[in-house]
Amino acid sequence: MGRLKQLKPFVRRYVILIAFFFCSMALVYCIPTAWIQENVDQSLEVMENEGERPLYAFYRHSAIVDNHTDMLMYRSLIPQRDDYNFIQSSVSINSYARYWHGYQTVLRPLTVIFQVQEVRYLGMILFYLLFFWSAWMIASKTRFSNAMLYVLAVASSYLVTVTTCFQYLTTFFVLFISLIFLLSRYDKDKPISFLLYFFTVGMTENFFDFLTYPVITLGIPLILLLWLRVRDEEAKLKENAWFTLKASVSWGMGYALTWIIKWLIGMAVLGMSHFWLTMSVIQYRLEGNEEDPLDRIGTIRKNLKAWLNVQDDGIITWSKVVLLILLAALILAVWKKLKDLKTVGGYLPILAVAAYPYIWYLVMSNHSQIHFWYTYRAQIVTLFGILLFIKSVLRDTGGEL
């Protein structure tokens, strides 16, 4: 009975959020298509003129703007089947029923008034407001230097590109808002249900996600919580390792169960054919095919090269040499000036979380090897985790920021 009581908040949260996701999608599809048709057409014309995958300024794979997916998002605003009612349209999304397409709850109402240029501008402004707010919260609740490491990690993902692409924006919005919520509620003397928090974040991310780089919504908050646990609770290796496992499972269950219920809703509303179509796509994503055979190590290599801005021919630029020298210097500093081993052990699970992007690449190898030019951004978790770990295990030689 005790375990059942512990599960009740999760079941309640799951039912409430799934009902909210379903109803909000249905409601936005009550907006008459005639209200948005002209703005959709003109927006698509703009993006078609730009190209499916335009490159601005940097001319590297890691700086591609995914207009292909953004155009798909805009085309999805217009139902293609006149025989579908608003509920069927909101579930089908023009036969792309395996995802929730939660962005529709924002993009469809905005398109009544705005075209793509204005929506991009609003997205850019909101991105920076939430980004700076979340960094300020990290500085307020932890340390200013932690906030700077967070800013550096996020900045490594080509923000100029991120802020002009709707697909890239949604996951960052979930990350920023979840961080702001977590840190505004965090109080060591008034504990909140962190497992329920990660469950909710996983559900919310799946509602908006296109398998872009969802692991950042788990990794960044979890790394910060592990740091706070060592500071406030003097958590050691065993406690933080167990907390890391439970938090990760909670996020994963929220993410997976939200996805599974969408497939079942699709089957109930649209019929079995849509369900089996979804299953065939899932099999392809997990196993690949003759045209796209799985290469798990190659997937990691591709994502790593994109993140490090390595040129297509594999030549490492001088900036990477500088980065390696700085990394070697930090390792030497750690070797000479470590804190006590118990404290270092408490921080070790941060390094485990820093490896999560590579676990994601191994599991979702097919998607990550084809779309490496944006999935590489998951590695901001790696950069943030490694830098925060190195900074945290060094002995304080004076007043630390």
Q: How confident is the model at residue 221 (pLDDT cuts 50, 70, 90)?
A: very high
Flag whether pLDDT at 318 surpasses 60: no
Q: Assess contact for 393 and 347: CB atoms under 8 A.
A: yes
Query: What per-residue confidence (pLDDT) applies to 311?
Result: 63
Domain layout of the chain by residue ranges: 2-393
pLDDT tens-digit series, residues 117-154: 999 999 999 999 999 999 999 999 999 999 999 999 99
User: Which percentage of the chain shows pLDDT scores above 90?
Assistant: 55
Query: What per-residue confidence (pLDDT) applies to 136?
Result: 97
Flag whether pLDDT at 313 surpasses 70: no
Least confidently predicted of 122-136, 236-250, 383-397: 383-397
Q: What tokens does 104 get?
A: 């529709």
CA-to-CA dists, residue 300 to 285, 295, 311, 349, 377, angstroms: 16, 9, 16, 21, 12
Query: Long-range CB contacts (< 8 A, 24+ apart) of 157-160?
Result: 157/377, 157/380, 158/58, 158/62, 158/63, 159/127, 160/56, 160/57, 160/63
Cα distance between residue 47 and residue 44, in whole Å? 5
Flag whether pLDDT at 267 surpasses 90: no
What is the pLDDT of the chain when averaged over all its residues?
87
User: Which percentage of the chain shows pLDDT scores above 70?
Assistant: 83
212-226, 274-288, 352-366: which is most confident: 212-226
Cα distance between residue 298 and residue 311, in whole Å? 16
Cα distance between residue 206 and residue 255, in whole Å? 5
Q: How confident is the model at residue 70 (pLDDT cuts 50, 70, 90)?
A: very high
pLDDT tens-digit series, residues 181-220: 999 988 776 666 899 999 999 999 999 998 899 999 999 9
In 112-189, which residue ranges form alpha helices assigned H by DSSP? 116-141, 144-155, 159-162, 166-185
Q: How confident is the model at residue 325 (pLDDT cuts 50, 70, 90)?
A: low
Query: What per-residue confidence (pLDDT) applies to 5?
Result: 73
Backbone angles phi, psi at 250, to 5 degrees: -60, -45
